[in-house]
Amino acid sequence: MLLFEAKAVGIRLTSIHSLHYVVYGPSERPAESHVAEENGHRQRALAMTSTKKQFALALHGGAGPVAGRDYAVTEQHLAKLARECESGLKSGRSALDVVEHAVTELEVCGLYVAGRGSAPNSAGHVELDASIMDGRSREAGAVAALRDFVSPVQVARGVMEKTPHVMLAGHGALEFGRANGFAEVPDPTDYYTLPVGVTSDDIQDIAHGTVGAVALDTSGGLAAATSTGGTFGKLHGRIGDTPLIGPGTWADDNIAISCTGTGEHIIRAGGAAAIAFRYRSGIALHDAIGEMLDEVKRLGGDAGVVAVTRNAEIAMPYNSDGMKRAAVSTAAQLVVATFA
Ligand code: ASP
């Protein structure tokens, strides 16, 4: 029987698919992959192998860091936030609440290219994209090209819970946010800041940034959320992968995924859902992610992914220079890193 054989817990750092790949968790090949190969009844096997009371969390602060720059401040921030989320998960908070909380904190701090750290588009306005998805119910909400709300991910959750829709964009998203009392930026001319690692001199060279969170809660629920100010100097109205349920954010019964990187390439490679569908079909986690990232590379972009599975396995691979990231689970100590 292979159901519970993979108990060895540890941290592996290997390079596959020409990308930086890290798995924190039970095994390189999740137990259910073995089961799937043996009997072909993956969904039933997954239900049997699911271990209750495990939690897992992974956060990212974007795949846009520049080699040689100092990201100590964001690493400290990610560590503190991951600890806070860990406490929440340990005390029974839902994955959905935890990812919303994490992304809100990442938005309001101004350290990343999301929320307060967002840069203006080519028309001089900050336009914000965010999405959130609950794996168990498969409910999802998103906002795109939203102007001047403090927490776009909270508005996205509002779309999920208060409308029959998945996404609202532009002025409609703004009207919805206002009508439902979500906090607006008090003075947009004064609110936005340069994130850590970006100076006003090189703003054109720093292509992009995003924040995201994925979590498995102790009742087996999975959720994902992502938020961004998008790419620097983007055209007015440009929408990347981040608010798209599928490419940017995905959660189902097996896996929760948040992507970061060049959105146009992630969209064309299928992004998070393309990973989830591969994983569901029995492809091992690292291959499922690696194949999508290889596609992004082949199309001319770069990207990173954070993913957690229902077995509390965590993966945080990227093929960009680096990815600001943190992870912790029942099985793995807190890890925080920016580069390899
Ligand atoms: N994916 C985001 C976008 O294209 C940017 C990023 O993740 O860095 O808008």
Confidence of residue 45 (pLDDT cuts 50, 70, 90): very low
Domains of the chain as residue ranges with CATH: 11-26+54-337 (3.60.20.30)
pLDDT for residue 52: 61
pLDDT for residue 201: 64
Contact between 240 and 129 (Cβ < 8 Å): yes
User: Is 210 noted as a catalytic residue in this protein?
Assistant: yes
End-to-end Cα, the chain, rounded Å: 36
Count how many Cα atoms sit within 13 Å of the Cα of residue 112 in the half-sphere of its side chain: 35
Q: Which two tokens stand for residue 309?
A: 């599975």
pLDDT digits (tens, 9 = 90+) for 325-338: 999 999 999 999 99
230-239 mean pLDDT: 91
pLDDT for residue 32: 32
pLDDT digits (tens, 9 = 90+) for 68-96: 899 999 999 999 999 999 999 999 999 99
Ligand 1 atom 7: residue of nearest CA: 260
Q: Judging by DSSP bridges, how do beta strands 249-251 and 222-228 pair with one another?
A: unpaired
For the CA of 304, the closest atom of ligand 1 is: 7
- Which among 49, 74, 104, 210 is annotated as catalytic? 210
For the CA of 207, the closest atom of ligand 1 is: 8
pLDDT for residue 244: 98
Quote the percentage of the chain above a pLDDT of 90. Answer: 75
**Ranges 51-55, 83-87, 117-121: which has the least confidence:** 51-55
For ligand 1, residues with CB inside 6 Å are 62-64, 208-210, 228, 230-231, 240-242, 260-263
106-112 mean pLDDT: 97
pLDDT for residue 303: 97
Mean of the per-residue pLDDT values of the chain = 86
Q: For the purposes of burial, counting CB atoms within 10 Å of the CB of 92, is it exposed (0-12), middle (13-18) or buried (19 or more)?
A: exposed
Beta bridge partners of 16: 19
Contact between 260 and 303 (Cβ < 8 Å): yes
Pocket test for ligand 1, best of 242, 258, 318 (most atoms within 8 A of CB): 242
Ligand 1 atom 4: residue of nearest CA: 263
pLDDT digits (tens, 9 = 90+) for 276-307: 999 999 999 999 999 999 999 999 999 999 99
Confidence of residue 4 (pLDDT cuts 50, 70, 90): very low
pLDDT for residue 208: 72
Expressed in angstroms and rounded, the spacing between residue 31 Cα and the centre of ligand 1 is 32
pLDDT for residue 195: 87
pLDDT digits (tens, 9 = 90+) for 172-214: 999 999 999 999 999 999 999 988 887 766 566 555 789 999 9
For the CA of 229, the closest atom of ligand 1 is: 9
Q: Which two tokens stand for residue 40?
A: 């072909």
Ligand 1 atom 9: residue of nearest CA: 230
Contact between 160 and 174 (Cβ < 8 Å): no
240-261 mean pLDDT: 98
- Alpha-carbon radius of gyration of the chain: 18
Pocket test for ligand 1, best of 231, 266, 324 (most atoms within 8 A of CB): 231
Count how many Cα atoms sit within 13 Å of the Cα of residue 54 in the half-sphere of its side chain: 22
pLDDT digits (tens, 9 = 90+) for 261-280: 999 999 999 999 999 999 99
